[in-house]
Copies of this chain bind each other. A is one copy, B any other.
Amino acid sequence: MKISIIGLGLIGGSIAIDLREKKFASHIIGVDNNTEHAAIALQRNLVDQISSLEFAVKNSELIIIAIPVDAIINLLPQILDIATTQVVTDMGSAKEKIIEAIKDHPKRKNYVASHPMSGTENSGPLAAIPNLFDKKCAIICNAEDSDIKAVELVKKMYHALNMVITEMDSSSHDMHVAYVSHISHISSFALALTVMDIENDEKNIFNLASGGFESTVRLAKSSPEMWVPIFMQNSNNVLKALNNYIDKLQELKICIKEKKYNEMFDMIKKSNKIKNILKTKSLNSILWKQN
């Protein structure tokens, strides 16, 4: 199948590698407004050719949009304007506003809103790696608003990436990811900033950084180009999650301040349960579908 990938970064590039490897894609057209990224993608053989958006849309059966969510809102209507029978899907980490933006488009049914839940803290076509999506969860939102055959094609693509597919409405999606993905990133950004503020006064603090710190702060390497638009588009859910998170921090702070040993012990004991939940998750390969 001829496909086009709009945005040749970590996500677009990694999808290209696997779809070619799995023979899902016979020919891949790449589009990127960053000419350096486009050149690297071509050089790495992630794509067969680089073209304009119009050429790409017209000459492929499936268009995969892998760009920041604010850029998706701008570009998706243009892509649907050009599309005739092509299926269009996007990889955005927030879905409500994107879906809202094209809800009345005459080609709405060509579009399938989706979100593959995988990534690394790195970005750009040099960060693209094989098997990034293997056994991870792909979410398809508001499938009922898309053409059945379009949804089938997008599912086939995610199966080629060996992903577990979940369906839900965009409002549930945006709430869930605020908790399991978006505030993890904010928590890491804030931690990096806090430690770096101190480092101005206290040289060499980083000689002391242990594996624990590196793990917690890993996501702070993630790009603002991708993340600021996500936080802005999903602001209601992110603000709610962030308030809950700050409340928990305040509760722990009060335990320390008022020497409430037992209360803090119980809170940490409770948080330890995440261990079993994540273990269950990694064992659980059953397809999960929200009611």
Contacts and interface: CB of A to CB of B under 8 A. Distances in A.
Contacts of A265: 224, 228
A40 B184 CA distance: 36
Contact of A239 (B238, B244, B253, B290): B253
Interface in A248-273: 248-250, 252-253, 255-257, 259, 261, 264-273
A253 B241 CA distance: 10
Contact of A180 (B181, B186, B210, B227): B210
A198 B177 CA distance: 12
A223 B119 contact: no
A191 B278 CA distance: 14
A216 B214 contact: no
Contacts of A227: 268
Dominant secondary structure at the A interface = helix
A249 to B, nearest CB: 5
Which 3 residue pairs spanning A and B have beta carbons closest together? Answer: A224-B268, A190-B248, A192-B271
Given A176-B208, A215-B219, A221-B272, 20 more contacts: A118-B211, A164-B207, A166-B208, A176-B205, A180-B209, A181-B212, A187-B187, A193-B270, A194-B241, A196-B273, A196-B274, A198-B241, A207-B281, A216-B219, A217-B278, A224-B269, A228-B261, A235-B256, A235-B257, A246-B246
Interface of A: 117-121, 136-137, 139, 164, 166, 175-177, 179-181, 183-199, 202, 204-224, 227-228, 231-232, 235, 238-239, 241-246, 248-250, 252-253, 255-257, 259, 261, 264-275, 277-278, 280-281, 284, 288, 290
